[in-house]
A and B are shown apart, each in its own frame.
Chain A
Amino acid sequence: MSAADLATAAPSREPARHSNLTRVVIYGLLLFFAFIYLVPLVVMVMTSLKPLDEVTGGNMFALPHAPTIEPWVKAWGEARIGVSDTAGIKGYFWNSIKMVVPAVLISTLLGALNGYVLTKWRFAGHKLVFGMMLFACFIPFQSVIIPMAVILGMLGQIGASLEDLTGFSFGFGNSTVNLVIVHVVYGLGFTTLFFRNYYEAFPTELVKAAMIDGAGFFQIFRRVLLPNSAPIFIVTVIYQFTNIWNDFLFGSTFAAGDQSPMTVALNNLVNTSTGVVEYNVNMAAAIIAAAPTLFVYIVAGRYFVRGLMAGAVKG
């Protein structure tokens, strides 16, 4: 092709200029909304790095003059939370971890097992069972608080009797254990839904092949299903982690005092009615409270969209 030919081919640039304009608009809007979303976070981070006099006397958007990590240290280890004697939010942070990790793992594994049975070991009435589990996703949590409290009360009594008998309560009645139970029960609907839809698209011939190969119920689950469930596993873990970590309702209802999870402690710290409100400490505590979910999103976030799509399209 000669240079002249190339020159006559130029009109194809016209639509390109048009798409440049579109691109400017799109990126402009994206930047605008990113700015709106990021401002609160930026303010939080800046405030948490300022000494208190700078916070109360200065402009919210001003950069810290004398940056300090003092508020972070105080929030983590020294601040008074409500009426408790425990210093700092670190104890509550570990409370949350101790609650979230088992609750997420148990609910995810049970959801996987449910999905496996509901798709590969169908029984009469499996649709009804799945329908009812799905229904659990739509129950407003406020409506189950009182019945749940009654049940947890009974478990507490069992724990007390066990303690009388054996000197050990086996975890019954412990606030963290109670919260794990509650979150597992109310997470099951979602985890089952996720895994059922994923396994619905999972080739049944693989299960048949494994049966002929002599693998049993749990061997098929562990050796064939689970190793091929990474995308949905990650989706479910992120979903459950975020929900359980951020839960305030159950945490404030079923756990008290030193055993409260992070969210409740943060509320108690911020809503204190005594002394000066230390905004910088509050901000540091709030960021610490949000950090684990952020961390999980950043590490596994790209699988979230991918896994959700995989389940949605195939299921």
Chain B
Amino acid sequence: MAFLEINALRKRFGAVEILKGIDLSLEKGGFLVLVGPSGCGKSTLLNTIAGLESISSGEIRIDGHVINDLHPSKRDIAMVFQSYALYPNMSVAQNMSFGMEMRGVPKPQRDKAVADVAKTLQIEHLLKRRPSQLSGGQRQRVAMGRALVRQPRVFLFDEPLSNLDAKLRVDMRVEIKRLHQQTKTTVVYVTHDQIEAMTLATRIAVLKDGELQQVGTPYEVYNSPANLFVADFMGSPSMNLLEGKVAHADGAVRIVLARTGDAEPIVMPAPSSADPSKLRDGGAVILGIRPEAVSDSESVDRNSKSVATFDALVDVVEPAGSDTFVVTSIAGKEVTARMRADADVRVGRIHAFAFNLDKAVLFDPATTRRI
């Protein structure tokens, strides 16, 4: 049975429904990342798990027990806030032991727990300082220490890295991942950064307008997005989405991408990920293909079973150091290809591109769902 379960959770503020029936579950020791654009309800969902917001209907269970109406302090959770929310009048050690003090844990025990966690997080030398005397990264560590020290059943993180600069953010991301692997705690983590979501999660839940779009492992969400929103939201640069038509010919199902002017349309076999029975002859589809599945024809993945090649004019070349992103267009739609850093591509030239169709997915433009 799942450790954290959320069933048909709804949250209304007056007439506005913020969460429209969320069903989620997470196994013990799992790392669930709630990701979505701002205003999608992910922080509200986290606050309802914490008990800082009441819920309108539905059920939240931890370890089989319904915790809907329990006070935050009775839920055995700990939370790391975006602003860290360290008590400015207390030292680091006092900040970390405040929760235990409120629960009546004897002082020797508190001191030992603080010392242990401080050692894990390498903040022993900071214990006597005030939060105002710490750098951003140190505050972040202390905030995590305060959560860790109580050994709660569930950790909640509310965009904990968004106040840090880019380099520190990457460092702390690794730190959080390492900490999770060491402590094997159950974590619910909110972020709007899809890279954080991909790197940290064992499960990702993508939210939009208070509705779950997809729940799955990072691999599933990235490679088999449930709909156009998830396809577009996850991944950077985002997935190429191209309008095409289904054509049945000679007993095979093909996808045709029209091109502007008198250029020949690109005809390719339907990607194996799509269900052929749903591909009507002449029906409109949207082809989704990640930039890394678009390359120059010679460096295409040799194991791929299905490849479509075509020539196109190079519009923009973006060398990113490790890779070079090449932008071209098909029927006015931009297509980004990820090529080797040393690929010989020049702006204004015609270049041969290859789609690795093993990695492509099809969407129904009417429902936006994956076929």
Tell me the dominant secondary structure on chain A's binding face.
helix
Complex CA distance for A203 and B99, rounded to whole angstroms: 18
Partner of A212, one of B87, B89, B99: B99
B157 to chain A, nearest CB (A): 13
| B365 at interface by CB-CB < 8 Å | no
| B77 at interface by CB-CB < 8 Å | yes
**Looking across the interface, which residue of chain A has its beta carbon closest to that of B150?**
A213
CB of A213 within 8 A of CB of B89, answer: no
CB of A214 within 8 A of CB of B88, answer: no
State which residues 207-227 of A face B: CB under 8 Å: 208-215, 219, 223-224, 227
**Looking across the interface, which residue of chain A has its beta carbon closest to that of B94?**
A223
Chain B hits for A213, CB < 8 A: 73, 98-99, 102
* Interface core residue of B72, B77, B88, B102 (most chain A CB under 10 Å): B102
What's the interface size class on A, roughly? 10 to 19
Partner of A205, one of B71, B81, B89, B103: B81
Chain B hits for A205, CB < 8 A: 81-83, 85
CB of A208 within 8 A of CB of B85, answer: yes
Complex CA distance for A209 and B81, rounded to whole angstroms: 8
Complex CA distance for A228 and B98, rounded to whole angstroms: 16
| A206 at interface by CB-CB < 8 Å | yes
Partner of A211, one of B72, B88, B89: B72
* Interface flags, A228-240, vs B, CB<8A=1, else 0: 1000000000000
Chain B hits for A209, CB < 8 A: 79, 81, 85, 87, 146
Complex CA distance for A205 and B143, rounded to whole angstroms: 12
| A208/B73 contact (C-beta < 8 A), A214-B102, A227-B89 known | no
| B339 at interface by CB-CB < 8 Å | no
CB of B83 within 8 A of CB of A212, answer: no
Chain B hits for A211, CB < 8 A: 52, 71-73
A267 to chain B, nearest CB (A): 44
**Looking across the interface, which residue of chain A has its beta carbon closest to that of B97?**
A213
| A214/B85 contact (C-beta < 8 A), A208-B52, A208-B79, A209-B79 known | no
CB of B88 within 8 A of CB of A228, answer: yes
CB of A215 within 8 A of CB of B102, answer: yes
What's the interface size class on B, roughly? 20 to 34
CB of B85 within 8 A of CB of A203, answer: yes
A234 to chain B, nearest CB (A): 16
Complex CA distance for A211 and B50, rounded to whole angstroms: 10
| B78 at interface by CB-CB < 8 Å | yes
Chain A hits for B103, CB < 8 A: 214
Complex CA distance for A215 and B50, rounded to whole angstroms: 15
Complex CA distance for A273 and B260, rounded to whole angstroms: 108
State which residues 93-129 of B face A: CB under 8 Å: 98-99, 102-103
CB of A208 within 8 A of CB of B87, answer: no
State which residues 175-225 of A face B: CB under 8 Å: 203, 205-206, 208-215, 219, 223-224
CB of A212 within 8 A of CB of B50, answer: yes
CB of A214 within 8 A of CB of B79, answer: no
Complex CA distance for A227 and B87, rounded to whole angstroms: 10
Complex CA distance for A219 and B85, rounded to whole angstroms: 16
State which residues 205-260 of B face A: CB under 8 Å: none
A253 to chain B, nearest CB (A): 42
**Looking across the interface, which residue of chain B has its beta carbon closest to that of A206?**
B85
**Looking across the interface, which residue of chain A has its beta carbon closest to that of B89?**
A227
Chain A hits for B87, CB < 8 A: 206, 209-210, 223-224, 228
Chain A hits for B79, CB < 8 A: 208-209, 212
**Looking across the interface, which residue of chain A has its beta carbon closest to that of B103?**
A214
CB of B102 within 8 A of CB of A219, answer: yes
Chain A hits for B102, CB < 8 A: 213-215, 219
Complex CA distance for A219 and B103, rounded to whole angstroms: 12
A300 to chain B, nearest CB (A): 19
Complex CA distance for A208 and B158, rounded to whole angstroms: 12
A124 to chain B, nearest CB (A): 12
Complex CA distance for A214 and B75, rounded to whole angstroms: 10
- 17 extra A-B contacts, CB within 8 A, seeds A205-B83, A205-B85: A205-B81, A206-B87, A208-B52, A210-B87, A210-B98, A211-B71, A212-B51, A213-B99, A213-B102, A214-B102, A215-B73, A215-B98, A219-B102, A224-B87, A227-B89, A228-B87, A228-B88
Question: Could you list some 27 contacts between A and B, CB below 8 A?
Answer: A205-B81, A205-B83, A206-B85, A208-B52, A208-B81, A208-B85, A209-B81, A209-B87, A211-B52, A212-B50, A212-B51, A212-B52, A212-B78, A212-B79, A213-B73, A213-B99, A213-B102, A214-B73, A215-B102, A219-B102, A223-B87, A223-B98, A224-B87, A227-B89, A228-B87, A228-B88, A228-B89
